[in-house]
């Protein structure tokens, strides 16, 4: 038996212009479209490295605004947003080490947003690692090729998580 709809609920079909147009024949075939997109991304790599350089400078500036260990929510949000961008674009652009460091820093900042103390040393350590990962010699390196760095950063994250307020009590 069909369910009867309440009188204030309307259900209707929508055929958007996007659907009409996207289903037209003559589009770029799937495999070629994906290949073209990948080639396009590859051509951005040099531009990406320049952008990362500018982002790291901006990130450093944003961190300088934080006085001592007293970070305001808006400052953390801004730093976090920049880190997320580095992580998200870094993966797409194939810079594995940079992505790993940015991801670790995002986790640290998420801990800070959840109440962990803002530890300047932990943040600066990540920023230095990001600057290193941007350099030519490290650009194509995977995290597992620099185990000392990765385990050091993991320890930094653990340190941040340890300072989270205990919610069990």
Residues that bind another protein (CB under 8 A): 6, 8-30, 33-41, 43-44, 47-48, 51, 55, 81, 84-85, 87-93, 99
CB atoms within 10 A of CB 123: 24
Q: Which is nearer to another protein, 23 or 70 (CB)?
A: 23
Distance CA 169, CA 159 (A): 20
CB atoms within 10 A of CB 53: 12
Q: Shortest distance, CB of residue 46 to another protein, whole angstroms?
A: 12
**R_g over Cα of the chain:** 22
Q: Shortest distance, CB of residue 86 to another protein, whole angstroms?
A: 9
Whether the Cβ atoms of residue 70 and residue 115 lie closer than 8 Å to each other: no
Whether the Cβ atoms of residue 154 and residue 110 lie closer than 8 Å to each other: no
Torsions phi, psi for 96 (to 5 deg)? -65, -45
Q: Which is nearer to another protein, 102 or 125 (CB)?
A: 102
Q: Which is nearer to another protein, 102 or 156 (CB)?
A: 102
Torsions phi, psi for 9 (to 5 deg)? -115, 130
Q: Shortest distance, CB of residue 127 to another protein, whole angstroms?
A: 18
Q: Shortest distance, CB of residue 100 to another protein, whole angstroms?
A: 12
Q: Which is nearer to another protein, 72 or 121 (CB)?
A: 72
């Amino acid at each position: 038996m069909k369910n009867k709809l309440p009188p204030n609920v309307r259900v209707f079909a929508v055929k958007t212009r996007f659907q009409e147009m996207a289903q037209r024949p003559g589009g770029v075939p799937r495999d070629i479209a994906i290949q073209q997109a990948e080639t396009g991304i590859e051509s951005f790599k040099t531009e990406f490295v320049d952008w990362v350089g500018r982002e790291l400078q901006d990130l450093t500036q944003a961190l300088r605004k934080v006085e001592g260990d007293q970070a305001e929510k808006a400052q953390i949000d801004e730093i976090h947003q920049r880190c997320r961008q580095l992580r998200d674009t870094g993966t797409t652009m194939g810079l594995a080490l940079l992505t790993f460091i940015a991801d670790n820093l995002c986790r640290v900042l998420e801990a800070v947003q959840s109440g962990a103390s803002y530890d300047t040393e932990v943040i600066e350590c990540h920023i230095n690692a990001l600057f290193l990962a941007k350099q030519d010699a490290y650009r194509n390196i995977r995290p597992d090729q620099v185990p000392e760095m990765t385990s050091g950063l993991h320890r930094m994250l653990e340190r941040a998580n340890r300072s989270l307020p205990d919610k069990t009590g």
